[in-house]
Amino acid sequence: MKIYAFICTRQEALPNYTQKLVSYLSRCKIEVNLLVNKESIFNAYKEAVENTLIRDEDVVIFCHDDIEIIMDPQQFVTVLIKAAKRGKSGFFGAAGTSHLGDTGVWWDRGAWEAGKHRGLVLHGTSIIDSDYTYYGSPGRVVCLDGVFLAISGKSLKTLDLIKPEYFEGDWDFYDIHYTTQAYKKGLYNTVEPIFILHRSRGELVGRDSWHKNRTAFIEANQLPMSI
């Protein structure tokens, strides 16, 4: 089996944090594919997968370029392989929710306070100055945050990575679309004990394209979705 990582980045001259991520994944014996200056995250992932010979037993990672994985490399790989081999495995990652409400926002505060969320993500520029965002214990979820997603080759082949016609934006809500697609196909999405530090605090959520894609997703899907 092989593990692949597809990472979109807008910078040909990789910043230090992306170089550090690539170095870590390489130590894990993971084949890294940097997708530089692509016009659409949907098309970038779709084309990368189509141009790679992915077998059923392989594991595919889609993640942001501004994260740090805070785990022993062997432990990280073990978590990935174990999750991918689980029966009816869908997407698995670091954070998500077991209840996607009418807002279409996975990190909705009401669901969070009701104990529906899963995962732990550090936010900041380093472990020392980061904030610990604890969502909940690992477990099965409806959808996951796109900061880190992984899936077996077998399950990935059942999904469509192309951008839905109802989306206007090329970079927003791909994670919710991908992971709820797996959920609706009867696959089991899960949050695993994957510990990451994310340099972004979600500033791009406020952009117009995010709101347009969120509205389009709500209109095109029957919400809520819950486990």
Contact in structure between 123 and 77 (CB atoms under 8 Å): no
Q: What does the pLDDT look like over 210-225, one tens digit per residue?
A: 999 999 999 999 999 9
Q: How confident is the model at residue 201 (pLDDT cuts 50, 70, 90)?
A: low
**pTM score, whole prediction:** 0.96
**pLDDT at residue number 196:** 97
Helix pair 41-50, 174-184: axis angle to 10 deg? 60
Beta bridge mates, 36: 9
Q: What does the pLDDT look like over 136-168, one tens digit per residue?
A: 999 999 999 999 999 999 999 999 999 999 999
Q: What is 3-226's CATH topology?
A: Spore Coat Polysaccharide Biosynthesis Protein SpsA; Chain A (3.90.550)
Q: String of b and e for 42-65 (b: at least 16 CB within 10 Å)?
A: bebbeebbeeeebeeebbbbbbbb
Q: What does the pLDDT look like over 179-197, one tens digit per residue?
A: 999 999 999 999 999 999 9
**pLDDT at residue number 207:** 80
pLDDT at 97 over 80: yes
| Neighbouring residues of 68: CB distance < 8 A, sequence distance ≥ 6 | 17, 20, 21, 24, 127, 196, 197
C-alpha distances out from residue 121 to 68, 126, 154, Å: 10, 12, 28
Q: What does the pLDDT look like over 45-85, one tens digit per residue?
A: 999 999 999 999 999 999 999 999 999 999 999 999 999 99
Omega prior to 73 cis, within 30 of 0: no
Q: How confident is the model at residue 129 (pLDDT cuts 50, 70, 90)?
A: confident
